[in-house]
Structure 1
Amino acid sequence: MKIKKRFIALIFLFLMIVFGYFIYLDHFTNEGIYENVINQNHYQLQKIDNSITFELFIKPDWIPTKSGEEKELNSLTVKHYDTEIYLDQAVNRGHDIYFNFRTANNMKFSGGKFVSKSFINDDGTFTANADPYSIQLYDHQSRPLDIGQRGFGPGENFSFGVPKGDQEKIKDGFYVRYSGYVLYEYFRK
């Protein structure tokens, strides 16, 4: 009888721990808060601005100069509105140098602001705001540069290539202006 009570108590304790873990994941992790905000589950979501622009500088030592060279960087380039944009990777593919950026929204339980490349609809669906001209490049003297291939996603990430003909122009670093973000504010109901 004593063993049966202990076994039942252990099962009950295990179920409580699992239940608590799922509540933690749903309400207190960055991903859980983001999903609740998007679905407006316990949160009110409000669009603040349709066109937020970030400008960042790509340092010369982040640029791979040799064909086939890859740089894993994970370098913070800008932080604004509880959002951080990282240059994750730069790859010299021979015909271009390709730059991959990751956007991290730091969601807070009580509320805050974040940016999205999409318009968030009331039902939790998204309408893409992926204008190919939202990415602009400038050399270190603010002269416009050509952009090759562009990429959007997954999530809030974006990427682009600098054609081989412009690689000499970026050797001293260059500026990226990205104007495809929408600013949102959220708060707990």
Structure 2
Amino acid sequence: MKRRRLTRLAKMALHVAEPLNGEGQLATVFASQHGEVGQTVDMLDRLLAGEAVSPTRFSQSVHNFASGSYGIHFSNTQASTSIAAGSDTLLMALIEGQSQLSADQDVLVVYMDEPVPARFLTPAEPQQPAMALALRLSLSASTRLLARACEAPADHPPLTSVPWQVLRMLNSAAGGVVMQQERQRYHWSVSR
């Protein structure tokens, strides 16, 4: 019954988060540049058409829906934060997660986004596919993901999705890439 009430985006987030839960409860940081944009746009279209919108649909459109769903589904009572920061969303979520780390407390960071309706994209913006990425941050982790501000030219166009590039880096050999984000260029790198 609980699963039926989840949106596609929340299902994606919980699907990638579950394998990283481990034993015990984790503080969480949920991040999404656009949140439940599909739910929100559909709800606004219905309002413009003079149709009623259900309270359930509204509750599914808020930015912390996935975070709240995670807490309910996994009976997690630890602190949870929801982040939205434009193209810097993943970086800000990782900074927030790092700020909560301690020797005896790992932090689960979950990034998720779904495609933005085409009518909201400019001709220069590529449509990004849906994605969900979960990272368990730990002070004892052997893999390090670093992001440092830099002045070097970007390796990818400014509109390339940072989370997709980070995911590619994490799935390949150690290396790095410079990406233009909303206000700054960052050199992202992975070391193992």
Q: TM-score range by the shorter chain?
A: under 0.3
- Higher RCO, Cα 8 Å, sep 6+: 1
Q: State the TM-score, normalizing by the size of structure 1.
A: 0.24
Higher share of residues assigned helix: 2
Higher share of residues assigned strand: 1
